[in-house]
Amino acid sequence: MMKIETGSARDWQGFSQILEVMSFLEEIESYSPDQIRESVEQFCQLPANPGQTMSLEEVVFWSGVASGMEFMRHHEEETMDAASTERMLLFASIFSHSMKNAIVDLALGELESEQHKPRGSWGSRIGRR
């Protein structure tokens, strides 16, 4: 499984958006066309200053989405054979599963480290500078 490390809370924003889109795609059959349209609108809103607020994880993820859509277009136009298409889809699903597990492991590790951090003392501050 892949190992993901993050050093800042800002990284979590990208990971959470990635996980949100991946979860949406897994459950897409249960949504109405209006719910799908609303979700896509929400996913595709750029932040006010994307060059400074989008994480590398988000950029890589959306590049992967774009490549996947282009890949499927070639499959539908029969530019690619069925065996190649199946192999790519299998690889993508394994990678997707690994990515979700890595994000969950990262979150759990972060929670554990938060629990083990020493808390500040509540004692008197008289005489402290």
pLDDT in the model for residue 121? 47
Pair 18, 57: CB distance under 8 Å: yes
**Token code pair at residue 63:** 């590049």
pLDDT in the model for residue 2? 47
State pLDDT tens for residues 13-64: 677 778 888 888 889 999 999 999 999 998 888 777 777 777 777 888 888 8
pTM value? 0.57
Give the residue-averaged pLDDT of 71-85: 89
Which helix (H) or strand (E) covers residue 24, if one does? helix 9-26
pLDDT in the model for residue 125? 43
Higher pLDDT: 60 or 7? It is: 60
Closest CA to 100 of 6, 23, 7, 32: 23
Query: At residue 66, what is the residue type?
Result: A
3-state helix, strand, coil in the chain (%, to 5): 70, 0, 30
108 φ, ψ to 5°?
-65, -40
pLDDT band at residue 5 under the 50/70/90 scheme = low
pLDDT in the model for residue 34? 96
Closest CA to 75 of 61, 62, 63, 89: 89
Give the residue-averaged pLDDT of 69-75: 88
3 φ, ψ to 5°?
-110, 125
CB contact burial 60-91 (16+ within 10 A = b; e otherwise): ebbeeeeeeeebeeebeeeebeeeebeeeeee
State pLDDT tens for residues 79-129: 988 899 889 888 888 887 787 777 777 777 777 776 766 655 444 444 444
Query: At residue 96, what is the residue type?
Result: S
